[in-house]
Amino acid sequence: KRSFDLFCEDEQRFKAERAIYDKIEFRINEAKKRLVECEERRSAICMRLKDYFELDQIKREEEKLKEDLAEVEEKISCESKRVQDETIALKEQISQWRTEANELGRQIKALTDRLNAFSEISDQQSCPTCWQPLNGHELNCLKQRFEAERADLKEQEGQLKNRVSKAENETLKQIKSSCNLEAIASSRNTIKSKLEELRKTSTDLALLEQVKLDQESVAQSITLLVAELDQSQQKLKLIPFDQSRFLKGRARFETAKSLVDVLRMKVVRAQAERDKAKLSLERSRAQLSEIEKKQVQVNEMRKHLVSLTEADQILTEFRKYLNDNVRPQLAEFAGQFLSELTDGRYSAVEIGKDFVPTVIEDGEPKPVISGGEEEILNLCLRLALSQMLAERAGERFSLLVLDGVFGSLDETRRFNVIHLLERLRARFEQIVVITHIEEVKDALEHLITLEFNDSTGNLIVGGSRAEDAGLVENF
């Protein structure tokens, strides 16, 4: 432990000395950087001072360019005004000549029309202008005079066209002259750009005066930085630093650091294993809690299973009791109804354990019967069940509903079913039969019809007899 304490003291002292050394070294490096920057700045100032002596020459060149620019702008203004005035005058003259040429063309056309009119006139016809009679000699004189006038007008028209063409050529020359003005304007722009560059250069050179003053400040800063650098190096030499002791301390520090790293890794692994164990413990607790919940559910389900088993036994015994007591009575009632519906052909019915009815003929089961007979048998079973329930209840049932019982029966058996239902009115207050068979509707006491209108999608309810109208309204 004593060695460890000494090591800690040496480490703290080493860190303090190292911090001082690093601080001084940082200041030395910063001073060197500032010194390099000052040297670069001084070199740049020297390079710019070389251009300072060209300032007078640039100013003279700038004055000359200003004079050239003023002269060029004046020349452009005068030439542009002259060309513009001449062009306007030529355009006005051309417009006037074109107007005159159009007028001459109109006159030529009028003379041509008149000449054509005279060409169609024969001797002794009237003049189309004054309506005087003309002979051959007068007609020829008029034609010659019109021909001479037309030739004179065509000559004038040709002269005007030549003058217009010359004026247009002159206009083209003026346009070419304006093109020369564009070249002069381009030269002016070039002079302006050069003048602007010279102004920028003169501005930069004017700044050299300030740069020259800055050079002294930079040189002074360099001197101060060099002095600060020397002072820092002297302070560095005064630090009591033992290189061998520093190396030994650093070796011990590195060894201790390695040991600490190893211990830290062990701690990290131990923490990871601890976290893993905690996670496993949490999972185990969660699984145990889930198992306890499921155990409670299992116990409840076992109790419920015992209850269901007891209920199943009771229901099984009750079903056996019902089968032993209900099936014979139900078979007796069904046999009575079957005898009435089949006119005595079949008079006995046997009810199996699954409550499937079977017809008995001559004391033997008849497993194969027709579809209509099967419908009658099922109807008899339903009626027998209804009668037995009514008797056991000790009162009349209010309603018996039969749906589609006539579908597979012939006409005789249909009416037998209707007569049987009439006799059942003593046991049921109301018997409703739903059927699509039209033949049985006249045998029913009351009739309500339901029709669906395909076009409107509505259900139409009506009665076929007057006494049924009240039923429809109540319905």
- Domains of the chain in start order, with CATH, are 2-238 (1.10.287.510), 317-443 (3.40.50.300), 445-475 (no CATH)
- Residue 198 pLDDT > 70: no
Which residue in this structure is represented by tokens 């579908």?
A: 407
Identify the burial level of 115 via C-beta atoms within 10 angstroms of its C-beta, where 0-12 means exposed, 13-18 middle and 19 or more buried.
middle
- Residue 183 pLDDT > 60: no
Distance CA 380, CA 239 (A): 126
Share of the chain above pLDDT 70, in %: 47
Rounded mean pLDDT, 45-58: 58
Q: Which of 428, 443, 423, 430 is nearest to 339 (CA)?
A: 423
Q: What's the alpha-carbon Rg for the chain, to the nearest Å?
A: 68
pLDDT at 429: 77
Distance CA 143, CA 148 (A): 9
Helices (H), 342-410: 371-393
Q: Which of 14-28, 94-108, 136-150, 275-289 has the highest mean pLDDT?
A: 275-289
Q: Which of 86, 277, 73 is nearest to 185 (CA)?
A: 73
Strands 397-403 and 428-434: parallel
Residues in the chain, total: 475
Distance CA 94, CA 83 (A): 16
Rounded mean pLDDT, 173-200: 56
Q: Which of 170, 150, 148 is nearest to 158 (CA)?
A: 150
Say if residues 338 and 376 touch (Cβ distance below 8 Å): yes
Say if residues 400 and 424 touch (Cβ distance below 8 Å): yes
- Residue 321 pLDDT > 70: yes
Identify the burial level of 373 via C-beta atoms within 10 angstroms of its C-beta, where 0-12 means exposed, 13-18 middle and 19 or more buried.
buried
* Model confidence band, residue 315 (pLDDT cutoffs 50, 70, 90): confident
User: In the Cβ-directed half-sphere of 142, how many Cα atoms lie within 13 Å?
Assistant: 25
- Residue 90 pLDDT > 80: no
Mean per-residue pLDDT over the chain, rounded: 70
- Residue 436 pLDDT > 80: yes
Distance CA 80, CA 74 (A): 10
Distance CA 101, CA 306 (A): 131
Tens of pLDDT along 140-167? Answer: 665 666 567 666 766 766 666 676 666 6
Verdict on whether the full-model pTM lies above 0.85: no
